[in-house]
Amino acid sequence: MIQELSEQELLRRNKLEEIRKAGIEPYPAEEFEINANAADIKANYERDKINYKDISFAGRLMMVRDMGKAAFAELQDSTGKIQVYIKRDEICPGEDKNLYDLLWKKWIDLGDFIGIKGYVFTTKVGEISIHVQSLKLLSKSLKPLPVVTVDKEGNAHDAVTDPEFRYRQRYVDLVINPKVRKTFEQRTAVINSIRTFLNNHSALEVDTPVLQSIPGGATARPFITHHNALDMPLYLRIANELYLKRLIVGGFDWVYEFSRNFRNEGMDRTHNPEFTILEFYVAYKDYFWMMKTTEQLLEKIAMDLHDTAELEVGDKKINFAAPYKRISIYDAIKEHTGIDVSKMDEVALRDTCKKLHLEVDDSMGKGKLIDTLFGEKCEDHYIQPTFIIDYPVEMSPLTKKHRTEEGLVERFELIINGKEIANAYSELNDPIDQRARFEDQVKLMERGDDEAMFIDHDFLRALEYGMPPTSGIGIGIDRLCMLMTNQVSIQDVLFFPQMRPEAKAVAEGEHSQTH
């Protein structure tokens, strides 16, 4: 199948040939040395003019205002845009005006990368610009870039807003939408902030297997793959929890990993099939310590990014300053339904759910029923960061039993803006109890719960050697980034969100034209 090139694409390919015929390499190999960037020039030129007389700058050509024998253009580098001024007699001092008349005026297009040397000056109208003394084509662009213009009021015209275009061709989105770049820089800032916090506490960053023979540590449907040499199924990890705990058994006091997890479930604006959870485990701590640490961490992230703990998220203000409200899951359900479920057995719970018109079936055990009740009736109400604590044992197979409350475990979830952001516990380190909990999961699986956990015998063996009392947490990094960058869709905090393949082959047709 041959996809025809557009008029503009053909033109650019023709220009490419003209450039080569003129003896100019459109994709030069040698380094182009740079000694300034756009943001630096704009910020520092006025008070430090002496240092901006011999500038070497490179960037992508975004706009040209041609005046005949001179032109203004805008170049964009990784720090932003800057205006440059190109005068024919300046870059072509002799008789030969081809560099200007042909290369600059005819052959260079919007989207090309060019390198310039020159000096910084301020134009009549007061814009800091680079006066070009020499010009070099660094890379020819063969596809026209959407042109987004910004007027005096700062309004963008013809901005590309089509989500499909933006997600499939993120590289273009990043070039033409400066806010998108900022969001991703902030995502990295969130991760750096966390890493600094953890490293300052002498935590050890580790890597654990992504390919696992038993997908453990969470309740979710895994992706299955196959290892040919071993001739066995392998699962992409749904969590790294059981491996990090093995490392606590091995004697590390505090380990952490930014874990790319894979769950074979639905997709929407808060779910992508692959996503990132930060998990960390700390020896000799409990879930109270973990709540304090979590508050401190989130407050620090907000401060590092925004210099304030109070952030605008959609039409709400969310305050990340510690401490956060704590409420038990039973009290939360009582508060929002008026029903005390703390003493109910499975049958009574199922009836209660039915009365509240919640969809339930016989495969659901006590834990899942309570989870449903909370998720449907309560979760949405917690906008400010809130710790929901003390879950029933049935829904927490890896969590230590509560020190005083029968039937509960020492667990909390952190809810922000109606969404779960973190999940943490005092870790179950009693190997006998852990084995019993796994066996309960098997019974759930036999009843038809396809998310129940498998027994991980090696993990049990590790616990039998002894794991110190430990507290652990998983923090949803993508969702945290959505809050910190004020984005409503997970697709806007992932560079390349999962998409169905495009119907039309993008590459095939175009290759067959150029080979």
Contact 498, 269 (CB under 8 A): no
Q: Is 513 in the site for RNA (CB under 7 A)?
A: no
Candidates 255, 479, 480, 485: give the one binding RNA (CB under 7 A): 479
Candidates 177, 426, 429, 491: give the one binding RNA (CB under 7 A): 491
Mark residues 123-162: x for contact with RNA by CB under 7 A, - for none: xxxxx-x-x------------x-xxxxxxx----xxxxxx
C-beta closer to RNA: residue 115 or 476: 476
CA atoms within 13 A of residue 310's CA, in its CB half-sphere: 3
How many C-beta atoms surround the C-beta of residue 238 within 10 A?
25
Q: Which CA distances in Å does 100 have to 87, 97, 103, 109, 152? A: 8, 6, 6, 13, 30
C-beta closer to RNA: residue 128 or 467: 128
C-beta closer to RNA: residue 106 or 457: 106
By rule CB under 7 A, what count of residues binds RNA?
Answer: 82
Nearest to 327 by CA among 415, 407, 419: 415
CA 77 to chain centre: 23
| Residues 209-228 contacting RNA, CB under 7 A | 218-220
C-beta closer to RNA: residue 295 or 492: 492
Question: At its nearest, how many Å lie between RNA and the CB of residue 332?
Answer: 16
Contact 108, 137 (CB under 8 A): yes
Return the C-alpha torsion angle 415, 331, 292, 464, nearest 10.
Answer: -100
C-beta closer to RNA: residue 331 or 451: 451
Nearest to 148 by CA among 78, 76, 79, 77: 76
Q: Which two tokens stand for residue 299?
A: 């407050």
Question: At its nearest, how many Å lie between RNA and the CB of residue 196?
Answer: 24
| Residues 366-385 contacting RNA, CB under 7 A | 368, 372, 375
Q: Is 451 in the site for RNA (CB under 7 A)?
A: yes
| Residues 241-300 contacting RNA, CB under 7 A | 263, 265-273, 275
Question: At its nearest, how many Å lie between RNA and the CB of residue 252?
Answer: 25
| Residues 304-323 contacting RNA, CB under 7 A | none
3-class DSSP state of 206: coil
Question: At its nearest, how many Å lie between RNA and the CB of residue 287?
Answer: 17
Burial of residue 7, with CB atoms counted within 10 A of its CB: 0-12 exposed, 13-18 middle, 19 or more buried: exposed
C-beta closer to RNA: residue 123 or 196: 123
C-beta closer to RNA: residue 277 or 467: 277
C-beta closer to RNA: residue 238 or 467: 238
- E strands, 289-355, are 310-313, 316-319, 325-328
Q: Is 23 in the site for RNA (CB under 7 A)?
A: no
C-beta closer to RNA: residue 320 or 374: 374
Contact 451, 221 (CB under 8 A): yes
CA 63/CA 175 separation, integer angstroms: 13
Candidates 501, 507, 514, 515: give the one binding RNA (CB under 7 A): 501
CA 452/CA 195 separation, integer angstroms: 32
Candidates 51, 213, 342, 489: give the one binding RNA (CB under 7 A): 489
| Residues 335-364 contacting RNA, CB under 7 A | 359
Angle in degrees, 0-180, between the axes of helices 457-465 and 431-446, rounded to the nearest 10: 160
CA 1/CA 9 separation, integer angstroms: 18
Question: At its nearest, how many Å lie between RNA and the CB of residue 138?
Answer: 18
| Residues 1-20 contacting RNA, CB under 7 A | 4, 6-8, 11
Question: At its nearest, how many Å lie between RNA and the CB of residue 394?
Answer: 14
**First-last CA distance in the chain:** 14
CA 77/CA 36 separation, integer angstroms: 10
| Residues 377-436 contacting RNA, CB under 7 A | 419-420, 423
Who contacts 467 (Cβ-Cβ below 8 Å, separation ≥6)? Answer: 245, 248, 249, 427, 429
| Residues 88-127 contacting RNA, CB under 7 A | 88-89, 106, 109-110, 121, 123-127
| Residues 51-70 contacting RNA, CB under 7 A | 63-70
C-beta closer to RNA: residue 405 or 451: 451
| Residues 171-210 contacting RNA, CB under 7 A | none
Question: At its nearest, how many Å lie between RNA and the CB of residue 162?
Answer: 4
